[in-house]
């Protein structure tokens, strides 16, 4: 099984290079104006070109309409569209078909019942991202809030289901998260930042090294 590490919310050439040089499998760029990690189409085009051929490129979108998605596809030429809003399974299927790009759907998890919708999305998407459900506050973002969920909720998942784990991960806890959940992929954004929206190259390297070591331990 492929073990993947994704660094999301990258917004500068320097921090993108840190992720690429450290061996990130996926790099992510945010197209959501409310996020401190939001990048313009122009900056996104340059960053995506910088990463091309070195890692798979994902663009995070939140309830984007077709016109906005078309702009992103043209500017970023992404390898993956990451849907982080309230997209229904039908909408996910439509986006995947209309734009011809692999799709990842993020699902917010806070309690066991939140997993009930997982099969309906798994049937129409290429990847599932399990993230912490955002807090019920006016300024909460759909993701990147630095909050974990109870990883023990995933104990009963179908072992054959591949998912990416997100939500509150950082260099100090990613190994434990992998051990407890058996996640084949992990995703981090705020957990490798010095302040909201500002990535810390040293934390990026530490996260990737910790995740790789945890995956190696699982293999033995």
- 5 touches 212 (CB < 8 A): yes
Within its chain, how far is the Cα of 150 from the centroid? 18
Burial classification of residue 45, based on how many CB atoms lie within 10 Å of its CB (0-12 exposed, 13-18 middle, 19 or more buried) = middle
Q: What number of other Cβ atoms are within 10 A of residue 200's Cβ?
A: 17
- Which residues are catalytic, by number? 8, 131
Instruction: Please give the Cα distance from 13 to 15 (Å, whole number).
Output: 6
> How big, in percent rounded to 5, are the helix, strand and coil portions of the chain?
40, 20, 40
Instruction: Please give the Cα distance from 149 to 176 (Å, whole number).
Output: 13
């Amino acid at each position: 099984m492929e073990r993947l590490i994704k660094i999301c919310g990258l917004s500068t050439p320097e921090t993108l290079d840190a992720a690429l040089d450290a061996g990130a499998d996926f790099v992510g760029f945010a197209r959501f104006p409310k996020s401190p990690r939001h990048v313009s189409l122009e900056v996104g085009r340059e960053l995506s070109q910088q990463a091309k051929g070195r890692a798979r490129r994902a663009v995070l979108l939140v309830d984007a309409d077709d016109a906005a998605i078309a702009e992103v596809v043209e500017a970023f030429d992404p390898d993956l569209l990451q849907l982080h809003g309230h997209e229904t399974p039908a909408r996910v299927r439509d986006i995947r078909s209309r734009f011809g790009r692999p799709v990842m759907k993020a699902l917010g998890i806070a309690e066991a019942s939140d997993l009930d919708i997982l099969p309906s999305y798994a049937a129409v998407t290429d990847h599932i991202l399990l993230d912490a459900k955002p807090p019920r506050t006016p300024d909460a973002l759909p993701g990147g809030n630095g909050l974990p969920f109870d990883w023990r909720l995933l104990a009963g998942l179908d072992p054959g289901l591949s998912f990416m784990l997100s939500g509150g991960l950082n260099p100090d806890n990613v190994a434990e998260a992998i051990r407890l959940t058996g996640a084949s992929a992990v995703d981090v954004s705020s957990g490798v930042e010095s302040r909201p929206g500002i990535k810390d190259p040293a934390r990026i390297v530490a996260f990737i090294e910790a995740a790789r070591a945890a995956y190696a331990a699982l293999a033995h």
